[in-house]
Structure 1
Amino acid sequence: METNTGSAREYGIGELLGRAVDGVLPVVRGISDGALADPTPCAEYDVKDLVNHLFHVVVEFRKLAAKGSVDFTGTPDRVGDGADWRERFAEAARELAAAWSAPGAEEGTAGTMDMPARTLGAMALLDLAVHGWELARATGQPEPPADAAVVAELARQVAGMASTARAMGMFGEPVAVPAGAPEFERLLGLTGRDPAWKV
């Protein structure tokens, strides 16, 4: 979906997810088996746990694009299911972007909480962007490019959901970032991540 409001372009969530996927896939493919037990900026997850979490988000949020039901009661060990987990992740991530690009995916509500569909798509986008950064930082790889359209969409969404997400334990307490920090670093700080984190 693409709409024009004056000179501003509103990107469809599917297109934004596609951009985020393009940035994350090189990071996922660059994770060595030897790095799977390493720590990440997300304190409760090591690298393997974080990949499994992101993999689960990708699979389940694809269902939400078709207004289907999801199951987050457990996180399958997809990394442990076979050495081809990187390519399986890539296939699932591309399917996620395609599902949210389908006609009607952003319309109406979805999920057990009947949230606006576009907001749910943006939640998947946030996970790709933030966890992609975490995985890159944890494994010493170049960070995915901070796509301006992706960051702008996430900045709008996080501004509206931060307090609720924090109360639900989805975000940590805000982390202060230097004045004049790039927008993506400010976004990381709002979600409780320290942009200066290093292994």
Structure 2
Amino acid sequence: MTNDDTHLAFENSEVAGTGGGPRGALLRAPPPRARPRVAAPHPAARRAATPAAATHLAFATSDGAGRGGGPLGALLRAAAAGAVPLVAATDDSALGSSTPCSEYDVRDLLNHLFAVVVQFQALAAKGGADFSTTPDRLAEPDWRERFAVETGKLVEAWAAPGAEEGTSGAMGMPARTVGAMALLDLTVHAWDLARATGREFEPDPEVVAGLVDEVEEMAPMARKMNVFGDAVELQAGASVFERLLATTGRDPRVRPTD
């Protein structure tokens, strides 16, 4: 959310490093090719500006989902169990494909997600993070294995005693909120990757439940900073995860085209 994407990286904050836009003001990372990207939905997505009341995820009465809040380490472990196999099975031939993130292709998306799992390890330990640049880790032949290793380190970092307590980053954000940003990226970008490569992805229901309240609270500021796109209007009967995607500005009904 940053100006770039779902990974709230308040860029002018230490949490996001030195940068300038909203994810930097919430947490962000420019793509390796220096293409400014707004973590917004695919251009063809049909968006609808909705009043604050309508923007509310209102999941408490939907699909039985209420307030979620398990330990971040456990939620990240569950999210990683879904994301890591998707990344590992991504063929090199798909790296140039477009994604629901309007200015990221698959390669950019994976490099961004790689940066998230690495930088948020430090944030779990109340250290600093630098999202000012995004290395092209996919240039390395073993990038799939390294992603799995770094994601495992991310899980362990947020499972460590005290990781969720206090604040993290230069802006002094609640550590739990900072960790939820990593959880959101790992979940939503896994969906982005699956959608871009013609695969299906359904996250663990506990992970979705753990994100509902966090995303709802992030949404107003995230939209104001162009971290989220406008909420997408969905028909009745949409799942909790589809509504969460719609809140970030993604249209779960649209598939990107090259």
TM-score range, shorter chain: over 0.9
Shift of 1:142: 2.5
1:124 and 2:182 aligned: yes
With the length of structure 1 as denominator, give the TM-score of the two structures.
Answer: 0.92
1:172 and 2:238 aligned: no
- Select the structure that is richer in helix: 1
Q: Higher relative contact order by CA 8 Å / sep ≥ 6: 1 or 2? A: 2
Structure 1 residues 1-199: aligned runs within 5 Å: 10-80=69-139, 82-143=140-201, 145-199=202-256
Aligned residues: 190
Structure 2 CA distance for aligned equivalents of residues 152 and 137 of structure 1: 21
**Runs of 5+ consecutive residues of structure 1 not aligned to the other structure:** 1-7
* SS in structure 2 at match of 1:58: helix
Partner amino acid, structure 2, of 1:88: R
* SS in structure 1 at match of 2:127: coil
Runs of 4+ aligned residues of structure 1 deviating over 2 Å after TM superposition are: none
Structure 2 CA distance for aligned equivalents of residues 167 and 44 of structure 1: 19
Structure 1 CA distance for aligned equivalents of residues 186 and 254 of structure 2: 18
Shift of 1:169: 2.0
Structure 2 CA distance for aligned equivalents of residues 149 and 163 of structure 1: 24
Shift of 1:30: 1.2
Backbone CA RMSD of aligned residues: 1.2
With the length of structure 2 as denominator, give the TM-score of the two structures.
Answer: 0.72
Identity, % of aligned pairs?
56
Shift of 1:9: 8.0
Greater mean alpha carbon deviation, residues 94-103 or residues 134-143: 134-143
* SS in structure 2 at match of 1:140: coil
Structure 2 CA distance for aligned equivalents of residues 44 and 61 of structure 1: 23
